[in-house]
Each structure stands twice: as C-alpha cells, then as structure tokens.
Amino acid sequence: MRSLLKIRVHSIAGKLILGIGSLMVFVGFLFALTFNKEFPDVPLEKTFYYGGPFVVIISVILFLILYFLVTKPLSYLVEGMKRLSAGDMDYRINIDSDDEIGLLAHSFNAMSDELKEYKEKMENWTKELEEEVQKKATEIYKAQEQLINTEKLASLGRMAAGVAHEINNPLTGIVTFSHLMLRRTPPENVQDIEDINTIIDQAERCSKIIKGLLGFSRKTASEKGPVNLNTLISNTLAMVGRQSRFHNIRFDMRLDPSIPEVVADPNQIQQVFLNLLINAADAMEKKGTVTIATRVVKNNGRESAELEITDTGPGIPEEIIGKIFEPFFTTKPAGKGTGLGLAVSYGIIKKHEGVIFVKSQLGKGASFYIHLPVLPRTA
Ligand code: ADP
C-alpha cells in the first residue's frame, strides 16, 4: 500500500491513473448522454448521481489490475537495473509469472548470474596474475643476486689464480732449499734441524692453501669420464662412515635409481661431496640427520642430475649466505676452518659446467644442491 502512495505523475502508474481516469470520465459522460436520450424521464443529475460512483469503482479496479500486473513488476526491474549498475550482483527479481514480465525477470536474473560469475573469474585472474608477477619478480631478484655472486666469485677466482701462481714458485723454492739445508745440517745441531722442519711444515701448509686456491680458480687438471652420482655418493659415505664425526649421524638416502650418468672427474666430485658432508657434520655438531637425494631436473630445457645434501643443523644466516662460496670465508674457529671447502667445491662444479647452490632457513638446516649436465641418453 505504501508503494501505491508513492506514485508520481511521470511514473507509469501515475500516467495510468491519469489515462484511465480521463477515459472513464469521457465514457461516463457519453453513457450519461446516451442514457438521457433513451430515457428522457430520468433527470440528468440522477444519472450522474448513480453512474458516477460506478465509473469510479470500475476505474479503480482497472487501475489496480494494471498496477499489480505491469507497474509493480516493472518497478522491480528498474530497481534491479539500478542496483546492477551500482555493482550489486546479488540482487535477484522474485517474479514467477509465465508472461513477458516473468521472462524479463528471468533474463535479468540469468544476466546477473553470468555477470557475477564473470566478475568472480576476473577477480581470480587478477589475483593469480598478481601472484605470478610477484613470483617472477622474486625469481628475477634471486637470479640477479646469483649473477652478481657468480661475477664476484669469477673475479675472485682470477685474482686467486694470479696470487697462487705468484706464490707457488717461491714456495717450491723454500721447500726445496729447506730440504737441502736439512741434509747439510749436522745431526748434533738439533735446534737448527727443528727450525728447518718448522719452515718445511709451514711452507707445506701454505702449499695446501695454494692448492685450494687453484682448485677454486679451476686451474687444476681433471680426468673426466662417465660417472654415476648414486655410486659416487655411496662410495663417499662408505669412506667417511668410519670417521668418528659421522658416528652419530643418520643418513636418509633417497637416490633415484634411474639417474643418468654425468661426465665428471670422480675424484674431484668426491672431494665436493666430502666437503659438503664435513660441513653438514660440523654444523650439526656431529649428531642429526643428513638427507641425500638424487633426481633428474631440467635447467633451461637441459637435463641435469641433481644431488641434494640436507642437514638438520642450525642453517645459514641470511647475512652470510651470499659469502660462503668465497675463498677464506669461514665462521669456524681459527685452526678449524680454512674457508676453502666451499670455494674449491664451487670451482670444481663450475669446471664441470654445473652449478652448486644453497637454500637455508635459519633454525631449519641447510640444503646444498649440485646440478651436473647428464650424458645424452642412448636409445
Ligand atoms: P670451512 O668449512 O673451512 O669454514 P667452507 O668454505 O667449507 O669453509 O664453509 C664456509 C662457511 O659456510 C662455514 O664456515 C659455515 O659458516 C658455512 N657453512 C657451510 N656449510 C654449512 C652448513 N651445512 N650449515 C651451516 N653453515 C654452513
């Protein structure tokens, strides 16, 4: 009833009232004139007196029929359109009739459903796109960091090679001449013999460091052949298994039996495995689990064999993770670490056209990965 009171002249209902009212007044007037002609005895005022209310009642009935059948359903449609254009996709029109208005309401509801579905799809796509962009941006950032690190290590390698080469010759001289001096020294000069032996020991220590530097700068010769990483890591474990630092360490082996062979120098790759295993044992303070896994991965469409060594140690802090492959970087106490293990490993893997990298979360251990290009499979 309230909506009936809200009818305005320019609305369809308003126009209906005006139209039907005028029509009925006109029809009533015609009827009264005709009636008066047929029955001149009945006074005209009487005809209006009885005919007027009749005309009004018929007009109201006609108006109500039209209002409930046309105007009200149309107002629902108008309201729906307004809401839809304001972005409200949940508004539905509740008209069940089989006529044109019902069909219109049904089409409106179907259109709202489709629009809602489309809007949800668009929102999901946008979200997925944003996530993908974020993921790619992180990947690019990481790749950039890795590139800078690789460049830094490459220039360090060149410098290390130069320094090692310059020091190696005088060092060989020191060792050779010390040995000659030792031979010439009479046995009763005990102190001299002890001093010369110290020189030889120290020079040999330097020699070892130089060897490490040469390894990092990839200036050592290698003998390459087809190698199965599963066999190589198993042999390495058999070798280190006897050492006390590995006695309380559990090895969780997840080797892919179908891993293809790689072309490598087995001694050098074994040295890399050893370095990683020793670091893992040191990080875990000689107790915990080391997971060793092999699998095939694809890098830029090229197949590589991957070897993963994951420990349950404290992990590597963010601020040093970019430095651990640099020569002489160590967090181990003086005399325990030289900081050459990972630098040499990096040099060896680089020389094999492979990659070595680390992933670590503080408190959750460290995972080292080695990728080596596999031999093309023969049919
Ligand atoms: P060193 O073992 O002589 O310190 P490395 O080059 O092998 O030299 O390692 C460099 C540094 O990298 C280590 O001192 C240590 O801080 C860090 N590191 C290497 N492996 C691990 C590991 N598995 N967990 C935590 N830190 C590690």
What is the predicted pLDDT for the residue at 260? Answer: 94
Residue 279 Cβ inside 6 Å of ligand 1? The answer reads yes
What is the predicted pLDDT for the residue at 50? Answer: 77
Quote the tokens at residue 236. Answer: 């390495």
Asked whether the whole model's pTM tops 0.75, one would answer no
What is the predicted pLDDT for the residue at 264? Answer: 93
What is the predicted pLDDT for the residue at 101? Answer: 84
Domain boundary among 30, 55, 85: 85
What is the predicted pLDDT for the residue at 78? Answer: 87
Q: Which of 320, 342, 370 to mutate to test the pocket of ligand 1 (most atoms within 8 A of CB)?
A: 342
Rounded Cα distance, 26 and 17, in Å:
14
Using CB atoms within 10 Å of the CB of residue 251, give its burial: 0 to 12 exposed, 13 to 18 middle, 19+ buried.
Answer: middle
Question: In angstroms, how far is the first alpha carbon of the chain from the final one?
Answer: 86
Task: Write the residue with the smallest CA distance to atom 3 of ligand 1.
Answer: 337
Domain boundary among 85, 108, 132: 85
Residue 153 Cβ inside 6 Å of ligand 1? The answer reads no
CA–centroid distance, 189 to ligand 1, in Å, is 43
CA–centroid distance, 331 to ligand 1, in Å, is 7
Long-range Cβ contact pairs of 357-365 (< 8 A, separation 24 or more):
357/146, 358/316, 358/321, 358/324, 360/315, 360/316, 360/321, 361/315, 362/314, 362/315, 362/316, 362/317, 362/318, 363/314, 363/315, 364/315, 365/283, 365/310, 365/311, 365/312, 365/313, 365/314, 365/315
| Structure-token match 């001093």, residue found | 195
Residue 326 Cβ inside 6 Å of ligand 1? The answer reads no
Residue 343 Cβ inside 6 Å of ligand 1? The answer reads yes
Residue 275 Cβ inside 6 Å of ligand 1? The answer reads yes
In a domain, 157, yes or no: no
What is the predicted pLDDT for the residue at 9? Answer: 55
In a domain, 164, yes or no: no
Question: Residue 273's domain is classified under what CATH number?
Answer: 3.30.565.10
What is the predicted pLDDT for the residue at 16? Answer: 73
Residue 356 Cβ inside 6 Å of ligand 1? The answer reads no
For residues 272 and 343, the answer to whether their CB atoms sit within 8 Å is no
Task: Write the residue with the smallest CA distance to atom 23 of ligand 1.
Answer: 280
What is the predicted pLDDT for the residue at 114? Answer: 92
In a domain, 301, yes or no: yes
Domain boundary among 63, 85, 107: 85
Residue 259 Cβ inside 6 Å of ligand 1? The answer reads no
Rounded Cα distance, 203 and 176, in Å:
10
CA–centroid distance, 323 to ligand 1, in Å, is 10
In a domain, 8, yes or no: yes
In a domain, 17, yes or no: yes
Half-sphere exposure of 38 (CA within 13 A, CB side): 7
pLDDT tens digits in sequence order for the chain, 379 residues long: 555 555 555 666 677 778 877 888 888 788 878 888 888 887 777 777 877 788 788 878 888 888 888 888 888 888 888 998 888 888 888 888 888 888 888 999 999 999 999 999 999 999 999 999 999 988 888 877 777 777 777 777 777 778 888 888 888 899 999 999 999 999 999 999 999 999 999 998 888 888 777 776 766 667 889 999 999 999 999 888 778 889 999 999 999 999 999 999 998 899 899 999 999 999 999 899 999 999 999 877 789 999 999 999 999 999 999 899 988 899 998 778 888 899 989 989 988 999 999 999 899 999 999 999 998 766 5
Q: Looking at this protein, which amino acid is placed at residue 170?
A: P
Q: Which atom of ligand 1 is nearest to the CA of 325?
A: 6
What is the predicted pLDDT for the residue at 221? Answer: 65
Rounded Cα distance, 112 and 155, in Å:
64
For residues 236 and 319, the answer to whether their CB atoms sit within 8 Å is no
Half-sphere exposure of 155 (CA within 13 A, CB side): 5
Q: Is 101 left (phi over 0), alpha (psi -120 to 50) or beta?
A: alpha
Containing domain of residue 38, as a range?
2-85
For residues 290 and 280, the answer to whether their CB atoms sit within 8 Å is yes
Q: How many domains does the chain have?
A: 2
| Structure-token match 């490598």, residue found | 264
